Amino acid sequence: MKSIVSASATALLISLIAAGATAHDGDSRDSRDDGNRIVGLWSTEAVIGPCNATPTIQIRNTLLFHAGGTFVDNPRFPPNGIPNAGTSGVYQRVQGLGTWSYNPTKRRYFLHLQFDRYVNNVYDGFSTVDREITLSRRAMIATGPVISTNYDVNGELQSEVCGEATSTRL
């Protein structure tokens, strides 16, 4: 009986060690059950512009993805804002909050983000960002298209821009 227990304990120990090794090797697992591979801190660079033209505006931010489907966007933006193109105002934006989901069939992530905008410290509306993300094999690079929609203070559509974003795991 003692040898059966020892053999069972040894088999259990070996399986736990193997499972632990697999959990750290994202490349060997089936990505359909690996939606949380995106969890962590990412530095993002995007290029956006009118949807029917070549993107020219560069955007930088930091994204913190949480397990379960939420994330925080921290704009890499001067605290006092930047001059608002076409006006004498200063454009500012706050941190964004968002949700993410994983589609195992497409092996893609989808995120939706919202943040508020201000001009001269006065609320000017909000923006949403929708992004489709494909992770690299080792889950160190996230790339994909971006659509950002701007709304005024009454929630009316102002404009939409499109582009591409690349995030690098920090």
Q: Per residue of the chain (170 residues), what is the pLDDT tens digit?
A: 444 444 444 343 334 333 333 333 444 444 444 789 999 999 999 999 999 999 888 999 999 999 999 999 999 877 777 877 656 678 889 999 999 999 999 999 999 999 999 998 899 999 999 999 999 999 999 999 999 999 999 999 999 999 999 999 99
Domain boundaries, the chain: 1-30, 34-169
* Residue 81, pLDDT score: 79
SS3 label, residue 15: helix
Separation between Cα atoms, residue 149 and residue 130, nearest integer Å: 8
Beta-bridge partners for 134: 143
pLDDT at 123: 95
Q: For domain 34-169, which CATH number applies: 2.40.128, 1.10.760, 2.30.30, 3.90.550?
A: 2.40.128
Sign of the CA dihedral running 117, 75, 163, 34:
negative
What's the alpha-carbon Rg for the chain, to the nearest Å?
A: 22
**pTM, full prediction:** 0.77
Q: Is 55 exposed, middle or buried (0-12, 13-18, 19+ CB in 10 A)?
A: middle
